[in-house]
Amino acid sequence: MIGRPAALPLHLTAATLLRVSAEGMATALVLSVQARTGHAATAGYLQTAMTLPYVLSGPVLGNAIDRVARPRRMVVALAAGYAAATALLLLTAGRSPMALALCLAAVIGCTEPMVVALTSLLPRFVPAERLSRAYGLEASSYNLAAIAGPGMAAALAASMGGQYAGIAIVASAVVGLLVLPLLPFPGPQKDETPPGRWTGVVTGGLVVLVEGRVLRALTVATTLAWLGFGGVAVTAVLFAQHIGAEPSAGGRLLVAMAVGSLLGSLVCSRWLTPRHAEPVMLGGLVAFGASLAALAVTPSVPWAMAAFAAAGVCEGPVFAATLMLRQRESPPGRLGQVNTTAGSLKIGASAVGAALTAAFADAVGPVGLVLAIAAFQFAGAALGLLLLRVAPKGKSIDFRRRSS
């Protein structure tokens, strides 16, 4: 184990490597299935099986992180399970019976929430005066992973063939797994440990999200937006083919979006404050949807990359505002579970979106898919605004005051 002064760099190293794998998995899976079967939309069903278990496993793992005194063994075991299942799925997808591939995808869904849960460990080893900077670096970790993961998968697919797109994804997960045991994993403070009722294992984070007015609006808006976003990976590949490019160009479109997201996060990190987080979140969803809708008239890959990059620039502040609002509105003893529960709802919505994309891809075509994804962003922003403006019938809980 490394001492606490070196803990943050090692945390960022391990977490980023694992997130590179998680972020690139969808792209690698689509490209692998496309290369082996000639039908990229089939990967949508595997994405659904990979993400739906997240809905239940996320809150459970978040609750465990909030409670367990020494989480090292649990985190390392989950990372090992994730790496093994990822390797097996990328090796067998499109070659083995669908039932086997679906089971492997489900294992990934049960273990991947560990990647998000790592964020809730930061307050345990980062001094309070450095925590804001640490969260900024953590947000950059997600954005860098979103660039590197799909980028490496697309690069390998272009140079070696789609069936090899997963090599870097598996390697990144394995290296991240090897770094994890070096980190300090202190347990929670006694006064931060949530109550011991068994129902809180699954529902504790959900109760916080429902009772808090801001968290409720944030969760509804982003969950609905991610119902559309779940089809982006498959849609990018199909849209690349629609404008006359190779399927691997879809990976470049996703990289352009991730680069834009990183730029948006870096820019907003200088001016975004908790006071403005709500309007930034809602406005970002509208701008994100508008950028995707512009794809309907793009004639070539460069223009499509510009539209994807613009969408990413708008999504970056949405993500930063989301992290800020969760941190601001959650009680300390539930932060890990709030993060994983909210993430589970978004991932579950994404899984449904991926399945809908696979089901309707042939019927509506790539242009219809991008317009549908944009419509979900507009709907999420509208509902979020409504929930923020309409006075609740019951008493909304102010967790910041209650936990102080």
For residues 73 and 101, give the distance between their C-alpha atoms in angstroms, rounded to a whole number.
27
Query: Using one digit for the tens of pLDDT, what is the confidence trace for 278-293?
Result: 999 999 999 999 999 9
Question: Once rounded to an integer, what is the mean pLDDT over residues 213-235?
Answer: 90
Any idea which residue has 């390998």 for tokens? 156
Q: What is the pLDDT of residue 195?
A: 54
Q: Residue 65: is its pLDDT beyond 80?
A: no
Pick the CATH number of 4-189+200-390 from 1.20.1050.10, 1.20.1250.20, 1.10.1200.10, 1.10.3720.10: 1.20.1250.20
Give the CA angle between residues 337, 118, 288 to the nearest 5°: 80
Q: Give residues with Cβ within 8 angstroms of 167, minimum separation 6.
A: 156
User: Among residues 65, 106, 60, which one has the least CA distance to residue 82?
Assistant: 106
Q: What is the pLDDT of residue 255?
A: 81
Query: Using one digit for the tens of pLDDT, what is the confidence trace for 168-215?
Result: 999 999 999 999 988 877 766 665 555 555 455 566 677 888 878 888
Q: What is the pLDDT of residue 107?
A: 93
Please state the domain extents for the chain: 4-189+200-390
User: Among residues 377, 32, 391, which one has the least CA distance to residue 233?
Assistant: 32
